[in-house]
Amino acid sequence: MLQGKRAIVTGAASGIGLATAELFAELGAGVVLADVDLDRAREHADRIGGVAVRCDVSKAADCEGAVAAAVAAFGGLDTVFNNAGIIRRSTVEDITEDDWDLVMAVNIKSIMLMSRYAVPHLRAAGGGSIINTGSGWGMSGGGRAVSYCASKGAVVNMTRAMAIDHGPDNIRVNCVCPGDTATGMLADEAAQLGATVESFYVDAADRPLGRIGQPREIAQAVAYLASDAASFVSGAILPVDGGGTA
């Protein structure tokens, strides 16, 4: 399905990013695992036959370096999964300016930076695929998550704009919008709100399918969008949320 594709996955040391890197490798892609936690990224890259790079996605030099690493390792680039993200549960009254700026830098500025360096190589390859991680909260609001909702709403509309800009170069740009998924970030949300992980997961399962998602389930949607099976799909916003936004 992805045989011979060359990909970068950000936030690849854990959660949805790791599940996607693993699935990409299983499907025949060469994968750069980009993450601020180089040790964990390297451990997983060694296991799946990928390449690990330390990448703070809010920094231009790091994003440029991740793209350069992919080109050096695989001779080019076909796919970028802009997945790295963070959440700070707060309202406009209690969020700090530093936290606001950090969420915007990691969740939205990062997509601009990584895509800026990737697009010339995708164009040189005759086209490719960029997949951005949005959220159900990029499509509707949520409580005590104002910076996260703002950033993911921006990701959704940025995806549409990028699809328009880069479609003439046969570069498809799409957005996958996970619902609550069993990752370290969801556990961190529980801690931020003073809840136990168990109770938080029960609350998060309040959706038509009656459960939270698993990282592999999100990865499968990303793999589809990266593949030639989605060759006429661009500008799409794909919820993978158990019916949470239905």
Positions marked catalytic: 148
Residue 109 neighbours by CB under 8 Å, 6+ apart: 58
Q: How far apart are CA 213 and CA 219, in angstroms?
A: 11
Check the CA dihedral 199-201-207-211 and report its sign: negative
Tokens read off for 55:
């990448």
Asked if residues 2 and 29 have their Cβ atoms less than 8 Å apart, the reply is yes
Three-state SS string over 86-131 comes to: CCCCCCCCCCCHHHHHHHHHHHHHHHHHHHHHHHHHHHHCCCEEEE
